[in-house]
Amino acid sequence: MASFASHFARALPIVGPALCQKRVGLLGCAAGAEVAALLAASGVLRWALATGAPAALDSPLARRFGPAYTRQGADTALAAALRAHHGERLPWAFVPLGTVGYDLLIAAGAPTTIDYAKTIAARRGCPLVALPLDPRLDPATWADGFPVATLGGPTEAYLTPDPYAAAAVARALLLRGTPFARPDIEALLVVRGQWSVGSGQPSVGSGQWAVGSGQPSVGSGQPSSFILHPSSLPQPVFATPLDAPALRERTALVVGLGSLGSLIALELGRVVRKLVVVDGATVTDANPARQLYRAAMVGQPKAVALADELRARLGTAAPTVVGLTTNLRDEQQVAALVAAEGGDLAVLTTGTVADFALARGLRAAGVPHLAARCYPRARYWETLLVPDGAVPCLGCLRGHLYAGPTPPPTPEEAARYAAPGDLMGEPATLVESGWAAACVSLLALQLLAPPGLREGWMLDLLASGRTCLIGGAYTLDEGHGAAYGLTRPGQVRAFGVESIAGSAAERVCADCGRTWPVGVLIADSRAGYFQRLFQMSWMVVCTPAIVCRTGSGERRASRRLRASSITSLSKWCDSTI
Amino acid sequence: MTYTQHRYSGTSERTWQVDLATASSVAPWAQRAPALLAGEVAAMGESFPHWLLALGQHDAPVACGTCGNPVVFAAGAARCVACDTPADPPPGAQLVWVGHLPTLLRPASALDARLPALAAAGFPTFTVGAAHYLLVMLLLAYPAEWPHEEPSVRYSPHFLRLIGVGPGPSGITHLLSAGRACLYAPGQYQGTGAAAVLQQRAVNHLASLMKIAGGTPPTEAFIGRIH
């Protein structure tokens, strides 16, 4: 069984040790289970829970942890679910709300619950984060696009329909004034509008993703617009495709079962007939804090553990789950997998360069797919959509787009100072990677739906050709503009072939062979100078005994240095034998 | 593209066409997109005409089993650049470029004392006008998933030792393991070709290392963000 340090090894670099000393009150355990799960995964282990009736089957508590947690009071069930997931050995402390003080109050549920919470928070003098059961809120009251409104009243109180935003705000409030504070989120808490429970008339928001242009602006880094109204996450606006019988006949593949893949598998598992989950790794101590595996599963193969966990969480609604304990690496393996299991959609979340080979295999097999990954610390995520062969493939876009300024390196990147490579064991918390997984799940479900059932924003996105999405849980600006043009946490931008960067007029895709015009030219004004210098030096010295004719005329070389030059080449070879 | 090679034991020249088909056979990315490799060879021939496209493994040139020289692609086979002996591509073979970059030598620097040893090891100097330059051997290796992954640019291990800079990894000298230059921040590389990588990144990196070797503090030698 993992220790506190090993269990939260990925979270501690981001939130520090102080969070486990904080106590959070929760009013509305069934409705607020998602926020509680997100905070617990960051190390909040001391809870004051309001007593509640057993949760309904469609409550966030049951959706998150499974139908087994509807048989007892919601507070008892939530405590049991958190203990079961993260392990009994952690220093949990669950007490009834009202018996002790707490640093923050979270209220989730009906307006009457939130009204009551305002009274309690005012009496206690602690901040309040409220999550209404009805997610409809007027985006005009949000904080500059971030889905948080000030909740009127005598105490510091915020209201949001999004559990990820609620968890981010709650954690920012708990960490305020510490080295782990989130100034970008705190800045959004000085909001324009106010939302008053009871007296207000919340209007129905768009409920959709408003897709903004990803047209890059070299140097300025200014986004042309934003994309995401997070009130659409994770489920309210998705009723139509979820209920479509056509989805019940689908088979989905998920390759890579980490902090993205394992959570996406849960969302896909709610709607498909068959789910094939693939990963050759085993569950490690730090995985349960961000992934779907329970602490008791440490040491088990991920694919097997996930299949078991999906059956437990989805109960009788669980699809046929096939767990394959293998690491797919090449096109031939993909072809064999698709031939054996079928596939209407594949989700690639390996976090490795193997994504390219797997995408090539899926493209050859005609399987719609998307490839998603988080950037270091899950500050940002990226998803490439490839619903068919007409749109750019993964190789056309991934790594070849100019998306605006890049963020500063994470402390781990700076300290590690290693070659860029696969993202393994990177610090992050569920607040960020879980939000990324929720977004990618929404995209995956849209791709899984027949085109006629896809929502307008997805149809617009595909029609625009902007099939690379980058979302940010952070706002980072080193003075050159916000990284990726994302000026607020929770934004997503879409990019297409017009953002392809290169040093020539065209770029040939190494995977599909298509040629794309380069939209953002990477040029160096010094190149001409260096080129002249190289040729000058070549004329004078001529390097290692190898002389080249470029077509512009043969140049004779001085021979005095040839012996030493070729000696240099030979010595390099000698050193590597 | 035509390459001319002088055997250092004699005066005869050898000329060969870079055999793109043979070169492609060792790099899956080139097999999938032959035009990419052709473009790379053309661009390198234009900007770095003295560099060799060679057979590599583990980010190092494969040495001829007979004479220890690099193996190039010519006349339907991978063969030694010096003795013409054919070589079989090893497991995990890759395409690499090997060649020299000129870098400016500052007058009266701490590096002066090291120049004789550098010259003896195969790092010669030359003069253009009043400026003195050192030729530094580098290697650029394409990874298996190029251009999705960044090519690695490495210094000859002898060179780093001779100028008194540790082989890394170190954020001070922007060197990764085994003499690999850190040329891009994470996520910054966008698939540019070998010539652009050398022109836009490697040249500057080398110049900064030379400043360090000449006595400039590392924090001043590299312009821009210090990790």
Q: Is the ipTM here above 0.95? A: no
Give the closest-approach CA distance of B72 to chain A in angstroms. Answer: 12
Residues B108 and B122 in one domain: yes
Residues B60 and B109 in one domain: no
Residue A258 reports pLDDT greater than 80: yes
Residue of B18, B135, B170, B173 to mutate, interface with A, max A Cβ within 10 Å: B135
Residues B66 and B109 in one domain: no
Contact B203 A530 (CB under 8 A): yes
Residues B111 and B176 in one domain: yes
The pLDDT value given to residue A559 = 29
Q: Which residues of A touch B171 (CB under 8 A)?
A: 414, 417
The pLDDT value given to residue A10 = 93
3-state SS, chain B, equals CEEEEECCCCCCEEEEECCHHHHHCCCHHHHHCHHHHHHHHHHHHHHCCCCEEEEEECCEECECCCCCCEEEEECCEEEECCCCCECCCCCCEEEEEEEEEEEEECCCCCCHHHHHHHHHCCCCEEEECCEEEEEEEEEEECCCCCCCCCCEEEECHHHHHHHCCCCCCECCCCECHHHEECCCCCCCCCCCCHHHHHHHHHHHHHHHHHHHHCCCCHHHHCCCCCC
Residue B7 reports pLDDT greater than 60: no
Alpha helices in A449-502 (DSSP H): 456-464
Residue A574 reports pLDDT greater than 60: no
Structural domain includes residue B150: no
CA end-to-end span of chain B: 40
Contact B33 A408 (CB under 8 A): no
Contact A508 B123 (CB under 8 A): no
Name the residue among B137, B145, B227 with its Cβ closest to that of A414: B227
User: Mind listing the domains of chain A with CATH numbers?
Assistant: 4-195 (3.40.50.720), 238-405+424-495 (3.40.50.720), 527-576 (no CATH)
Residue of B13, B31, B126 to mutate, interface with A, max A Cβ within 10 Å: B126
Residues B84 and B21 in one domain: yes
Identity of the amino acid at A56? A
Contact B101 A568 (CB under 8 A): no
Distance CA A559, CA A540 (A): 10
The structural domain count of chain B equals: 2
- Single residue among B65, B97, B129 that ends a domain in this structure: B97
Q: Per mean pLDDT, which of A42-46, B65-69, B107-111 is the most reliable?
A: A42-46
The pLDDT value given to residue A463 = 87
The pLDDT value given to residue A269 = 95
Name the residue among B36, B169, B190 with its Cβ closest to that of A399: B190
Residue A82 reports pLDDT greater than 60: yes
Residues of the domain holding B205: 98-137+156-221
Name the residue among A504, A537, A566 with its Cβ closest to that of B135: A537
Structural domain includes residue B160: yes
Q: What is the pLDDT of residues A214-248, one digit of tens each?
A: 333 333 333 223 334 333 333 333 334 455 788 88
Q: What is the pLDDT of residues A444-490, one digit of tens each?
A: 998 999 888 887 778 888 888 889 999 988 989 888 899 998 888 88
The pLDDT value given to residue B166 = 76
Residues B190 and B105 in one domain: yes
Structural domain includes residue B39: yes
Contact A550 B46 (CB under 8 A): yes
The pLDDT value given to residue A243 = 58
Residues B90 and B115 in one domain: no
Name the residue among B122, B176, B177 with its Cβ closest to that of A564: B122
Nearest CA in chain A to B155: A572
Residue of B145, B161, B162, B174 to mutate, interface with A, max A Cβ within 10 Å: B145
Q: What is the pLDDT of residues A366-419, one digit of tens each?
A: 999 999 999 999 999 999 999 999 999 999 999 999 988 888 888 877 776 655
Residue B84 reports pLDDT greater than 80: yes
The pLDDT value given to residue A175 = 96
| The pair of three-digit structure tokens given for residue A50, joined into one six-digit string | 């309001």
Structural domain includes residue B187: yes
Contact A549 B3 (CB under 8 A): yes
Residues B74 and B130 in one domain: no
Looking at per-residue pLDDT, the higher value among A143 and A285 belongs to A285
Q: Which residues of B touch A376 (CB under 8 A)?
A: 186
- Single residue among B48, B82, B97 that ends a domain in this structure: B97
Give the closest-approach CA distance of B113 to chain A in angstroms. Answer: 19
Distance CA A163, CA A233 (A): 9
The pLDDT value given to residue A497 = 93
Across A245-379, where does the E strand assignment appear?
251-255, 274-278, 320-324, 345-348, 369-374
Nearest CA in chain B to A546: B5
Residues B86 and B108 in one domain: no
Nearest CA in chain A to B150: A420
Q: What is the pLDDT of residues A328-346, one digit of tens each?
A: 999 999 999 999 999 999 9
Residues B183 and B161 in one domain: yes
